[in-house]
Structure 1
């Protein structure tokens, strides 16, 4: 007895239609890019701020003071602008976020400032626009905390 021989394999033929193009824009990718830029700029801003000879000294108080200085120099209307204005705004904003977090890590007294800056960051990432009322509200709260220091 012999076993049956299976039929020979042939590649499918025919037109399967066009291959869909790869997506060109992904909101998630853009959000990740923005987060990466903010964190990278924050590191640069923090290094810049920490290298400054400031009479407030080192430690949490110095970090909080520098965060408030960066926030004071931040002009949200320049955020996203092309060229030096946009770069300055991005770096000052990122420095304020990172330095406020460093201040809170060093002393819980500065936790409200860090939380306010985190809310600004979250709202800005959510709306991608500093002109949104929710972003403006949180930015005003952070600036108010700085004014009270």
Structure 2
């Protein structure tokens, strides 16, 4: 009997291995990730605000969901302090969620009753302007004032 050792073979590389690009440009963070973050915060905050509005309160229903949504949007705006939007901690979370909730609730009110469309449009314009500039500049504050004036007339 001959004692042979098992033969092992090593894989043979293919004839044309894939080459990495000679000069790959370094990736820089751009506005897209920031915009996605802001969008995520707005959508998430809207969901939290809407859930809060739908589950909160004293349980008394007025029988008019659009009117209730408009009042809740106005309450969210009333408690919204734009100077705390970029602070750290709970103050910032409260500000972000109230701003987002005002948008979601005012849109819900306008969808149910066209009389609330001016409120929804003013809040949407404020949110759109803020999303473009990431600041509460003069134009954003003007739109917030418009929304708050509409609330005062409700």
What is the TM-score of this pair, normalised by structure 1?
A: 0.84
Structure 1: which 4+ aligned runs deviate by more than 4 Å? none
| Structure 2 unaligned spans of 5+ | 1-14
Whether 2:38 is the aligned partner of 1:31: answer no
Name the structure 1 match of 2:129.
123
| Structure 1 unaligned spans of 5+ | 1-9
> How many residue pairs get matched?
138
Q: Which residue, 127, 137, 144 being the options, matches 1:139? A: 144
Q: Which residue, 69, 74, 89 being the options, matches 1:68? A: 74
Name the structure 2 match of 1:107.
113
* Structure ID, larger Rg: 2
Alpha-carbon distance in 2 for matches of 1:85, 1:27: 25
Name the structure 2 match of 1:6.
none
**SS state at 2:111 partner:** helix
**SS state at 1:145 partner:** helix
Alpha-carbon distance in 2 for matches of 1:52, 1:106: 20
Q: Alpha-carbon deviations, 1:92-146, whole Å to 9, x = none?
A: 000000000000001001011000011001110111101x111111111011101
RMSD: 2.2
Whether the 8 Å contact between 1:56 and 1:65 is mirrored in structure 2 is no
Q: Alpha-carbon deviations, 1:54-102, whole Å to 9, x = none?
A: 5463510000000000000000000021110100000000000000000
- Deviation (angstroms), 1:18: 5.0
Alpha-carbon distance in 2 for matches of 1:33, 1:79: 15
- The aligned runs of 1:54-65 (5 Å cut-off) are 54=58, 55=60, 57=62, 58-65=64-71
